[in-house]
A = this chain, B = another copy of it.
Amino acid sequence: MTDTEQLKRHLARLAAYDTNGMYHNDFLLTWDHDEAQIGAIFETARILRSLRKANLSCRVFDSGLAVSLFRDNSTRTRFSFSSAANLLGLAVQDLDEGKSQLAHGETVRETANMVSFMADVIGIRDDMYIGKGNAYMREVAAAVQQGYEAGILEQRPTLVNLQCDIDHPTQSMADALHLIEEFGGVENLRGKKIAMSWAYSPSYGKPLSVPQGIVGLMTRFGMDVVLSHPEGYSIMPEVEEVAIHNAKASGGSFTRTDSMREAFENADIVYPKSWAPFGAMERRTELYAQNDMEGIRTLEKELLAQNARHRGWECDESLMRITRNGKALYLHCLPADITGVSCRQGEVEASVFDRYRDQLYREASYKPYIIAAIIFLSKFADPAATLSQLLDRRAARLLEPISR
């Protein structure tokens, strides 16, 4: 199949999806969106990537701002968001306010409007405190919606969740698109076993949004999703409910185990990654609210000690050997804690990580396109038609030399 034929096939598939629910809408949790919408994001991401690869401009905005609000440091997500915004023609403007300044209800409402007069997108990463990040995003979304309805804002900026306390949708969608490409189609994921496993790390307090995002999304494709972690490292119960519900609906399964070995056995895909215990994150949120720095230090020590009891949870060669034909696809959101490389002992053995390095980087490479697809679907009622327009106008991304 030629590239153009493949592109046309993706356009046809996209046209078949009902994306009305994404038009003029935000993207906060994957499970807020039905199968058609999830499918449309994958197709749109692939089409945008193909267009760019063919040196065709994907610029749909002549001007406009993409506001980025990162409450944590982030190189990867920052560049993914910048890349996506730039691909579509938006300029990124960072919002760097102190945390306290944004913490109150009325201030959120005001700031959200003040930065949005010419904003088409607002990307937020806020994953530090349980119960806060996603709630904050909904506050911002409500504020700009109200501003738009009151005629203050002449366009409604789309809110994109770049990681919250509950979900990390652009990560899990990029991971899923990687699987789709690696396995040759979403239909080939059916019946595959994926192990989302806790792994040991010498750092504490890693967000839960990655494992939660993975079990919340991967259960939709008929996969056998296994969540494994030591006792005490549970994820949010409401996300487990989502996973159970999804698995049932998709004809897959969702199971939990406290054995990494059991999870890896015959797994087609493994995703070993550290995270903090949910309960501990809740306690930390309260301690921060009370500004109890002594309590936080005590909690940190406890968490490190708790982690240290599970040093055996490492994705090493012996564990990889028991996966399907010893060749499960290894996933990670990066950066990983690599034993002997980035730390003394970590999530993964160096030789395992090295073997999958190119695939890991490719996994990450889908994120800008996922973000761009989400923005695109929120702006165009008939995305397949508009993407065809981009194909037909044949504007070059990098000037095409005229041969002499």
Contact = CB atoms under 8 A, between A and B. Distances in A.
A147 to B, nearest CB: 6
A358 B65 contact: no
Nearest to A97: B75
Nearest to A154: B53
Nearest to A88: B63
A93 B79 contact: yes
Listed residue (A63, A89, A153, A403) with the most chain B CB atoms within 10 angstroms of its CB: A63
Given A91-B82, A381-B401, A110 B389 contact: no
A59 B63 contact: yes
Contacts of A153: 365
Contacts of A75: 95, 97, 111, 114-115
The quantity of this chain's copies bound in the complex is 3
Nearest to A353: B106
A30 to B, nearest CB: 22
Interface residues of A, number: 75
Given A59-B62, A334-B114, A382-B404, A152 B358 contact: yes
A365 B397 contact: no
Interface in A383-404: 385-386, 389, 395-399, 401-404
A257 interface: no
A400 to B, nearest CB: 9
A306 to B, nearest CB: 26
A288 interface: no
A290 to B, nearest CB: 21
B389 A335 contact: no
Contacts of A381: 401
Given A63-B87, A361-B110, A398-B64, A79 B150 contact: no
B385 A404 contact: yes
A198 B133 CA distance: 38
B361 A152 contact: yes
A358 B92 contact: no
Nearest to A102: B75
Which applies to chain A's interface (DSSP): helix, strand, loop or mixed?
A: mixed
A17 interface: no
B150 A361 contact: yes
A381 B400 CA distance: 11
Contact of A87 (B107, B118, B361, B380): B118
B106 A83 contact: no
A58 interface: yes
A145 interface: no
Interface-central residue, A53, A75, A335, by most chain B CB under 10 Å = A75
A309 interface: no
A347 B53 CA distance: 52
A107 B401 CA distance: 37
Interface of A: 49, 52-53, 57-65, 67, 75-76, 78-80, 82-83, 86-89, 91-93, 95, 97, 104, 106-107, 110-111, 113-115, 117-120, 147, 150-154, 334-335, 338, 341-342, 358, 361-362, 364-365, 367-368, 379-382, 385-386, 389, 395-399, 401-404
| The 10 residue pairs across chains A and B that have the minimum distance between CB atoms | A83-B118, A60-B399, A57-B62, A152-B361, A150-B358, A79-B115, A82-B93, A113-B361, A62-B397, A86-B91
25 contacts: A49-B154, A53-B154, A57-B62, A60-B398, A61-B398, A63-B89, A65-B83, A75-B95, A75-B97, A75-B114, A79-B95, A80-B117, A86-B91, A104-B341, A104-B342, A106-B341, A110-B335, A110-B361, A117-B364, A120-B398, A152-B365, A380-B399, A381-B401, A385-B404, A386-B399
Given A83-B119, A389-B401, 4 more contacts: A63-B86, A79-B93, A380-B399, A385-B401
